C-alpha cells in the first residue's frame, strides 16, 4: 500500500521535501468494514491549509500522517452489509492506494454514473461549492454582471457557466492567454481577463461597463483590489477561497476603503465553507445534483479535467496547482 504522508510543514510554497512516499501493508477489513482501492484522487486547494498548524475550520494533518483527500475507490473486499465488492464509492480516504472504511462518510456512486472522477469535481464537492455559493449567496438575476476568478478551474468554470444559464453577463479572470481563450470559446463567458497582464485593472473595468453585481471570490489579492471599485449598489460577494494567500502571500487590501464601499453601496460579503451546506442544506444538494447532472447531459456545461498519472506525482501536481499550473480540475489517476 503506497501512501503519501506529510513530512514537514511548509513555510510559504510547499516543496517536494514536505511530502514522503511510504509503503505499508494493505489493511485488512474487520467485521462491518470494507477495503477500498483508490482509482482517482482529488487534489484541492484546501489541502494547503491542512498542511499548516495554524488554527482553521478543520484540523491539520499531523506530521507523518497520510495527506487528507477525497478519492473515488472500488470496494475490493466487503464485510459490510451495505457495500458489495465492485461498488464504486467516494470517501475521504487520503493520498493512498488502500484504506478500510466502516462506511461512514462514504457515498456509493449510483449505477450508471458515467465518469467516476466527476464525483470529485463537477458532480462533487467543487461543483456543489460553485452551485451553492452562486445560487444561495450570489442570488444571480438575468442581466447582472458576474465576475469569477480561477475561471477555468473546478469551481470557477462551473460558477461562470451556471451564471450564463441564469442569463448573466460573465467575466472570467484567469492566468494566461490559453486559459482566457478557453473560458470564452469553450465555456461561453463573455470575456476573460488575464490577471497577469500589466493593465489588468483597466481591462477588467473595460469588460464591466455596467459595474459588477456578483463577485465570486476564489483568489483575493490583486484581483480583489481591482474588483472593489467596480462593485455596484447591492452587489454580493460569496467568499469561497483566497488562493493567492494560501502560501502566505500578504493580504494588503485597504480595509477601510473596502468598508466604505460596502457601506455606501450596501454590499453583502458572505464567507462559506461547503461542509456546512452538506450538513444543513440537503434540499439544495438535491437541487444541485438534479440541475448539474441534467445540464451536463444536455450538453449545456463543459467540464475539463487535468489528469495526472500515478500517486507519486501527486505532490508536484499539488504544488503546481497553487501556482496556476493546472488547467481544469486536478485529479490523480492511480495505477
Ligand atoms: P482550481 O482548479 O481553480 O485551481 C486553482 C487555481 O487558482 C489555479 O489554477 C490558478 O488559476 C488560481 N490561482 C492560483 N494562484 C493564484 C493567484 N495568486 N492569483 C489568482 N489566481 C490564482 O481550484 P478549485 O476550483 O478547486 O478552487 C478554487 C477556489 O475555491 C480556491 O480558492 C479554493 O480554496 C476554493 N474552494 C472553497 C471551498 C469552500 O468550501 N469555501 C470548497 C472548494 C474550493 P489561474 O491560472 O487561472 O490563475
Report how many helices (DSSP H) and strands (DSSP E) the chain contains, helices first.
Answer: 10, 15
Centroid of ligand 1 to alpha carbon of 329 (angstroms): 10
* Out of 26-35, 239-248, 253-262, 282-291, least confident range: 253-262
What residues contact residue 91 under an 8 Å CB cut-off, 6+ apart? 36, 70, 71, 73, 99, 101, 105, 106, 107
Pairing of the two strands 169-174 and 145-149 = parallel
Measured CA to CA, the distance from residue 120 to residue 42 in angstroms comes to 6
- Strand-pairing partners, residue 309, are 333
Average pLDDT, the chain: 96
Residue 323 has pLDDT above 90, yes or no: yes
CATH 3.40.50.720 residue window(s) in the chain? 125-274
pLDDT attached to residue 143 = 98
Q: What is the pLDDT of residue 257?
A: 87
Q: Which residue has the higher pLDDT, 249 or 193?
A: 193
Mean pLDDT value across residues 262-288? 98
Euclidean distance between CA atoms 31 and 323, whole angstroms:
44
Question: How many A from CA of 324 to the centre of ligand 1?
Answer: 8
Task: Please tell us whether the domain made up of 2-119+304-333 is placed in CATH 3.90.180.10.
Answer: yes
- Lookup: cell for 61: 494533518
Take residue 259 and report the three cell numbers written for it.
468598508
Count, residues in the chain: 335
CATH 3.90.180.10 range(s) for the chain read 2-119+304-333
Closest among 40, 41, 48, 67 to 244, alpha carbons compared:
48
Specify burial of residue 117 (Cβ count, 10 A radius: 0-12, 13-18, 19+).
Answer: buried
Interval between CA 153 and ligand 1 midpoint (Å): 7
pLDDT of 179 above 80 = yes
Does the model's ipTM exceed the 0.95 cut?
yes
Ligand 1, atom 13: closest residue by C-alpha: 324
- Evaluate: CB of 195 within 6 angstroms of ligand 1: yes
pLDDT tier, 335 (very low <50, low <70, confident <90, very high otherwise): confident
pLDDT at position 249 = 73
Cβ(149) – ligand 1 distance below 6 Å: yes
> Mean pLDDT throughout 318-333?
98
CATH 3.40.50.720 fits 125-274, yes or no: yes
Give 218 Cα–ligand 1 centroid separation in angstroms: 6
Residue located nearest, by CA, to atom 19 of ligand 1: 244
Residue 250's pLDDT is what?
Answer: 73
pLDDT in tens, 208-265: 999 999 999 999 999 999 999 999 999 999 999 999 999 987 777 778 889 999 999 9
Q: Is 129 in the pocket of ligand 1 (CB under 6 A)?
A: yes
- Residue 324 pLDDT more than 80? yes
**What is the per-residue DSSP string for 2-34?**
EEEEE-S--SSS--GGGEEEEE-PPP---TT-E
How confident is the model over 89-105, as pLDDT tens digits? 999 999 999 999 999 99
pLDDT-based confidence at residue 115 (cuts at 50, 70, 90)? very high
Phi, psi of 105 (to 5 degrees): 80, 0
Q: Are 45 and 243 in contact (CB under 8 A)?
A: yes
**SS3 labels along 143-176:** CCEEEEECCCCHHHHHHHHHHHHCCCEEEEEECC
| Tens digits of residue pLDDT in 42-67 | 999 999 999 999 989 999 999 999 99
**pLDDT given for residue 111 in this prediction:** 82
- Provide the β-strand partners of residue 170: 146
Atom of ligand 1 minimally distant from the CA of 244: 18
Concatenating the DSSP letter of every residue in 191-228 gives: EEEETTSTTHHHHHHHH-TT-EEEEEBS--HHHHHHHG
User: Ligand 1 pocket, 238 CB below 6 A?
Assistant: no
The residue whose CA has the least distance to atom 48 of ligand 1 is 175
What is the reported pLDDT for 295?
Answer: 97
- Is 34 in contact with 77 (CB distance < 8 Å)? yes
Amino acid at each position: 500500500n503506497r501512501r503519501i504522508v506529510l513530512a514537514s510543514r511548509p513555510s510559504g510554497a510547499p516543496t517536494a521535501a514536505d511530502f514522503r512516499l511510504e509503503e505499508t501493508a494493505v489493511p485488512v477489513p474487520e467485521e462491518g468494514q470494507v477495503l477500498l482501492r483508490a482509482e482517482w484522487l482529488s487534489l484541492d486547494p484546501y489541502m494547503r491549509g491542512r498542511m499548516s498548524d495554524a488554527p482553521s475550520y478543520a484540523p491539520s494533518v499531523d506530521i507523518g500522517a497520510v495527506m487528507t483527500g477525497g478519492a473515488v475507490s472500488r470496494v475490493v473486499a466487503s464485510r459490510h452489509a451495505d457495500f458489495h465488492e465492485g461498488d464504486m464509492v467516494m470517501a475521504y480516504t487520503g493520498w493512498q492506494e488502500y484504506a478500510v472504511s466502516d462506511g461512514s462518510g462514504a457515498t456509493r456512486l449510483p449505477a450508471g454514473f458515467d465518469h467516476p472522477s466527476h464525483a470529485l469535481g463537477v458532480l462533487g464537492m467543487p461543483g456543489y461549492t460553485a452551485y451553492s455559493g452562486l445560487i444561495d449567496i450570489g442570488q444571480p438575476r438575468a442581466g447582472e454582471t458576474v465576475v469569477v476568478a480561477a475561471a477555468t478551474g473546478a469551481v470557477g468554470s462551473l460558477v461562470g457557466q451556471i451564471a450564463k444559464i441564469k442569463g448573466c453577463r460573465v467575466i472570467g479572470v484567469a492566468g494566461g492567454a490559453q486559459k482566457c481563450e478557453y473560458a470564452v470559446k469553450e465555456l461561453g463567458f463573455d470575456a476573460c481577463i488575464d490577471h497577469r497582464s500589466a493593465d489588468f485593472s483597466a481591462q477588467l473595468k473595460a469588460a464591466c461597463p455596467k459595474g459588477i453585481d456578483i463577485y465570486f471570490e476564489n483568489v483575493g489579492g490583486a484581483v480583489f483590489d481591482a474588483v472593489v471599485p467596480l462593485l455596484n449598489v447591492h452587489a454580493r460577494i460569496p467568499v469561497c477561497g483566497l488562493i493567492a494567500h494560501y502560501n502566505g502571500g500578504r493580504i494588503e487590501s485597504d480595509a477601510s476603503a473596502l468598508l466604505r464601499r460596502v457601506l455606501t453601496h450596501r454590499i453583502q460579503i458572505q464567507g462559506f465553507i461547503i461542509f456546512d451546506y452538506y450538513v444543513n442544506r440537503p434540499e439544495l444538494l438535491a437541487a444541485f445534483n438534479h440541475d448539474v447532472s441534467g445540464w451536463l447531459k444536455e450538453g449545456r456545461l463543459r467540464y475539463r479535467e487535468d489528469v495526472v498519472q500515478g500517486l507519486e506525482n501527486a505532490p508536484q501536481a499539488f504544488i503546481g496547482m497553487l501556482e496556476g499550473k493546472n488547467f481544469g480540475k486536478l485529479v490523480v489517476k492511480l495505477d
